[in-house]
Amino acid sequence: VGLKVAPAFSWFGISHKYSESDGVKAKCNAGISVLYNFHENFSLVTGVNINSIGGKMKPTKDAEILKQAEKSKISYKATELELPLLIQARTDQYGSMRYFMKAGFGIGAVLQARDSEKNKIQKKYYNTALTSYILGIGAEYEVARNCAIVGELRFNGGISSFTRSKN
């Protein structure tokens, strides 16, 4: 069992004609990880994460023409409760170091969503359930038996869309 605090960079990949992605937002995520070793170098990883997701969006020309856009640019942020399920493969120990890679999926529930002016966004405009694929690589430094400091680069790619749109 381990605690995690991680910086994150979040953006929206938008797939409808009225808005498009307009930048990245720096965020912070936290959680609890649980590792179950089913082989010396393979583990099942799960846990609970609180993720800050969001990004900047701007209306497309279609939205401006149809007067759908109230503002030229706006940013959104949301808090997600995520349950990841991953398989981790790691190297043998070299001195105090081990290296690993992991892959899997996450399911999440959006707890709240707000715009850049701290206005609550109505649930009819976003999906409350999210799914993602997760890929990561990293290293762990053994401090003591069953105690390590871990550094990881992780990518969470959305399978489901945050925004709801019929277009």
DSSP state of 63: H
Q: Which helix (H) or strand (E) holds 115?
A: strand 97-115
The pLDDT mean for the chain works out to 82
Tokens of residue 133, six digits: 């694929």
Check pLDDT > 50 for residue 167: no
Identity of the highest mean pLDDT range in 10-14, 26-30, 88-92: 88-92
- pTM over the 0.75 mark: yes
Minimum mean pLDDT among 56-65, 67-76, 99-108, 146-155: which range? 67-76
Q: Which helix (H) or strand (E) holds 50?
A: strand 42-59
In this prediction, residues 73-101 reach a mean pLDDT of: 90
Q: Which helix (H) or strand (E) holds 65?
A: helix 61-65
Percentage of the chain lying above the pLDDT 90 cut = 42
How big is the chain, counted in residues?
167
pLDDT at 62: 61
In this prediction, residues 106-135 reach a mean pLDDT of: 82
> Between 121 and 152, where is the model more confident?
152
Among 84, 92, 25, which Cα is nearest to 49's?
Answer: 84
pLDDT at 19: 65
> Between 64 and 90, where is the model more confident?
90
Band of residue 117 on the pLDDT scale cut at 50, 70, 90: confident
Band of residue 69 on the pLDDT scale cut at 50, 70, 90: very low
**Cα atoms found within 13 Å of the Cα of residue 66, Cβ hemisphere only:** 9
Band of residue 59 on the pLDDT scale cut at 50, 70, 90: low
Sign of CA dihedral 161, 56, 15, 59: positive
pLDDT at 70: 53
Sign of CA dihedral 118, 124, 129, 130: negative
**Cα atoms found within 13 Å of the Cα of residue 13, Cβ hemisphere only:** 7
